[in-house]
Amino acid sequence: MSGNKILYRPTLPFKARKAVFEKLEDIADVASMSPEDRERYDNSVKVYRDYLVTMDAAEQKGIKEGLEKGIEKGMKEGTQRAQLKIARNMKAKGIDNESIAECTDLPLSIIEGL
């Protein structure tokens, strides 16, 4: 067997083969277009690709802005919880409401409700 080589030819699944042949058919169709049709086709492909890039950029911007807003909201809620916890602890130690309000920047009405 030293002189015989067995060549491995990978086979594509049917769906993949079909997609390859469809792509080749599209390429052949484009290659056979008149110059005017080819220009219109190229322009429409450019517009479509620009649209995809614009949509992707808008999506990324939306994700970034949403993340920033979420972080900001989370930080604000975390700060408020910490202020309330501190106010409860101070109140439990018998510190007057006005002093608690000064230390925590919470409104007096909230401290009185604790």
Q: Show the CA angle centred on residue 19, arms to residues 16 and 22, nearest 5°.
A: 150
- In this structure, are residues 86 and 76 in contact, taking their beta carbons and an 8 Å threshold? no
**Residue 10 within any structural domain of the chain:** no
**Residues 52, 7: Cα–Cα separation, whole Å:** 41
Q: What is the tally of structural domains in the chain?
A: 1
Within 13 Å of residue 56, how many CA atoms lie on the same side as its CB?
Answer: 6
Q: What is the mean pLDDT of the segment spanning 9-21?
A: 68
**Residue 28 within any structural domain of the chain:** no
Q: Is 98 helix (H, G, I), strand (E, B) or coil?
A: helix
Helices 97-104 and 35-92 pack at an angle, to 10 degrees, of: 150
Residue range of the domain that includes 73: 34-112
**22-52 residue pLDDT tens:** 777 777 777 787 888 888 888 888 888 898 8
Q: Which of the pair, 16 or 29, is modelled with greater confidence?
A: 29
**Is the pTM here over 0.75, yes or no?**
no
**Residue 94 within any structural domain of the chain:** yes
**Residue 82 within any structural domain of the chain:** yes
**Residue 77 within any structural domain of the chain:** yes
- In this structure, are residues 105 and 83 in contact, taking their beta carbons and an 8 Å threshold? yes
**Residue 26 within any structural domain of the chain:** no
**73-97 residue pLDDT tens:** 999 999 999 999 999 999 999 999 9
